Amino acid sequence: MRREVVDGLHFAHGGADDGCSVLFVHGAMDRGAAFLHVARRLPDLRWTVYDRRGYGKSVSGLVPTFSDHVADLVSILTRYTDPVVLVGHSIGATIALAATASQPDSVQSLVCFEPPLPWMDWWPLTDGDGKRIEEDGTKIAVERFMTRVVGADIWASLPRSTREQRFREGETFVSELVTSREAAPFWPSAISRPTIISRGEPTNDVRRKAAEWLVNEIDGAQLVLLDGSPHGAHTASPEEFSVLIRQAVALGE
């Protein structure tokens, strides 16, 4: 695995040098390494993961907005000589959709797993605890989120250094979610590449509605269900998630 830093963003590359290029975009409070279990199931492809600005090893003094993440991804895409298969999870998938609409010639095909659409009037403004993400400050927002994702016992048992790292990422977490509500970052009609919209089964009503809306609005988009997979399918069901990517590779050929 080869690592590099470009414009403050930390990348890791692996797979086959002559394989189709796959670029992974992680979600909120995550990092590129979360995709490694998926990437290692794709040894014949040339894959790249990166820590989005404000997360993991890409933490800096500036707090990025949702638009900043899109701009970063567009810049990354322009460095490829051939179109890539772009794979996004959660808000990383929403970022991938916006970047594809802006830079379509750089994308061969697209996989989006449970992308949120926070600017839609039917998307809830509050989280699972009935509060807006920004309501009680970043530290409490991080604790609420991590407790829901990993459970209270695991969160409390994490090393102090790990929890402090998550707290440092909290400003980015809140910023990207709040600024993503401001306006639609893409028009579905601008996405002209083969697109797979995927969600777990079962999932909650709003994620189901978002997936259905995208499939209906993006020309030729396909809905693929991952039975039994939770929202974190890339870590919980890496084999099934890797199949999505192979389907996208085939669509783009």
Residue 27 has what pLDDT? Answer: 97
Residue 253 has pLDDT above 80, yes or no: no
Residue 19 has what pLDDT? Answer: 95
Residue 196 has what pLDDT? Answer: 98
Mean pLDDT to the nearest integer, 3-31: 96
Q: Give dist(CA 39, CA 235) in Å, integer.
A: 11
pLDDT in tens, 44-97: 999 999 999 999 999 887 899 999 999 999 999 999 999 999 999 999 999 999
Write out the DSSP string of 116-154.
--TTSTTS-SS-TTSS-TTTT-HHHHHHHHHHHHH-HHH
Token pair in block for residue 218: 């993006």
pLDDT in tens, 97-156: 999 999 999 999 999 999 999 999 999 988 777 888 888 889 999 999 999 888 899 999
DSSP-derived 3-state class of residue 231: coil
Residue 166 has pLDDT above 90, yes or no: yes
Residue 62 has what pLDDT? Answer: 86
Chain-centre distance for alpha carbon 122: 21
Residue 176 has pLDDT above 80, yes or no: yes
Mean pLDDT to the nearest integer, 175-203: 95
| Boundaries of every domain in the chain | 2-123+185-252
Residue 133 has what pLDDT? Answer: 85
Q: Which residue has the higher pLDDT, 170 or 133?
A: 170
C-alpha pair distances (Å), 123 with each of 133, 149, 176, 180: 13, 20, 15, 12
Residue 204 has what pLDDT? Answer: 92
Q: At the topology level of CATH, where does 2-123+185-252 sit?
A: Rossmann fold (3.40.50)
Please give the angle made by the CA atoms of 165, 230 and 30, to the nearest 5 degrees: 20
pLDDT in tens, 191-238: 999 999 999 999 999 999 999 999 999 999 999 999 999 999 999 999
Q: Give dist(CA 206, CA 116) in Å, integer.
A: 9
Q: Which residue has the higher pLDDT, 166 or 253?
A: 166
Q: Give dist(CA 115, CA 1) in Å, integer.
A: 28
